[in-house]
Chain A
Amino acid sequence: KAGVTQTPRYLIKTRGQQVTLSCSPISGHRSVSWYQQTPGQGLQFLFEYFSETQRNKGNFPGRFSGRQFSNSRSEMNVSTLELGDSALYLCASSLAPQGKTGELFFGEGSRLTVL
């Protein structure tokens, strides 16, 4: 059974650009969540999608957005990149929405560097 797949694994952008990250969940999983990991901040929740609907959102500016497709694949987009957006972006999937089952299955992440 394939795990959570994130692409690209690494990318470098410059300030002001925008970036799109992709996540393919485990087959059958309908919930996809996105997290930002930075040193000292742990895993900061960005948003969760379930059945193509944004179910929950963290405390990030509107430059961070996402969507989910009918096949449960998800994308997140960050516009007008800032240096502070450099981070590891992790996608996690689960069968049911967060808050119901607890366990999330994570991908390996997309390492974004903003210069």
Chain B
Amino acid sequence: DQQVKQNSPSLSVQEGRISILNCDYTNSMFDYFLWYKKYPAEGPTFLISISSIKDKNEDGRFTVFLNKSAKHLSLHIVPSQPGDSAVYFCAADGGATNKLIFGTGTLLAVQP
């Protein structure tokens, strides 16, 4: 049972444009959400997070939006840069799981 879903396995964007990565979840008890970025041959690194009491969190070029009623969150990267090319994982925390639940990841390719 995949509680956190990233339905787009890959996304290609031109440099300078906006990248939008999407994530859906099923457990309404999740109250904290994170995005991780992973380059090949490296471990995932924390990018940005959002608490369920907020609907938006911004950090430089990265903004995460949370729509609790739709159980949906998205990561916006503006402007996209070639160095942003990586796999992006969303993760959810909270409820009775006592662990982070990760999505399957979206491979972002930013074309120069």
A residues in contact (CB < 8 Å) with B: 4, 33, 35, 40-45, 48, 55-56, 90, 92, 97-99, 102-109
| A106 touching B104, Cβ below 8 Å | no
Quick one: which of A40, A99, A102, A107 contacts B97, CB cutoff 8 A?
A: A99
Asked whether A56 lies within 8 Å of B99 as measured between CB atoms, the reply is: yes
A-B interface, 9 closest residue pairs, ranked by CB to CB distance from nearest: A106-B43, A42-B104, A99-B98, A43-B102, A98-B99, A106-B44, A108-B43, A102-B32, A42-B102
Expressed in whole angstroms, the Cα–Cα distance for A36 and B101 within the complex equals 12
Task: Note all chain A residues with C-beta closer than 8 A to B46.
Answer: 103-105
The docked-state distance in angstroms from the alpha carbon of A107 to that of B99 is 18
Q: How large is the interface on B (under 10, 10 to 19, 20 to 34, 35 or more residues)?
A: 20 to 34
Chain B hits for A109, CB < 8 A: 42-43
- In angstroms, Cα B34 to Cα A108, docked, is 19
Residues from chain A with a CB closer than 8 A to the CB of B101 are: 45
Specify the chain B residue showing the minimal Cβ separation from A44. B102
A102-B100, A103-B34 known; A42-B89 Cβ under 8 A:
yes
Residues of A within 8 A of B93 (CB): 98-99, 102
Q: Would you call B67 an interface residue if the criterion is a C-beta within 8 Å of the partner chain's C-beta atoms? A: no
Most-contacted residue by chain A among B45, B97, B104 (CB, 10 A): B104
> Given A33-B99, A55-B98, A56-B99, are A40 and B104 also a contact pair (CB < 8 Å)?
yes
Interface string of B84-112 (1 = CB under 8 A from A): 00000101011001111111110000000
- Quick one: which of B39-77 are within 8 Å of A by CB? 41-46, 49
Residues of chain A within 8 A of B91, CB atoms compared = 43
Note all chain A residues with C-beta closer than 8 A to B32: 102
Closest to A42 in B: B104
Bound CA span A102–B105, Å: 18
Minimum CB–CB distance for B85 against chain A, Å:
17
- Write the chain B residue with the least CB distance to A35: B102
Q: Assess the B102–A108 pair: CB atoms within 8 A.
A: no
Distance of A108 Cα from B103 Cα, bound (Å) = 19
Between A and B, 5 residue pairs with Cβ closer than 8 Å are A43-B91, A45-B100, A102-B49, A106-B36, A108-B43
Q: A97 vs B100: C-alpha distance in the bound complex, in angstroms? A: 10
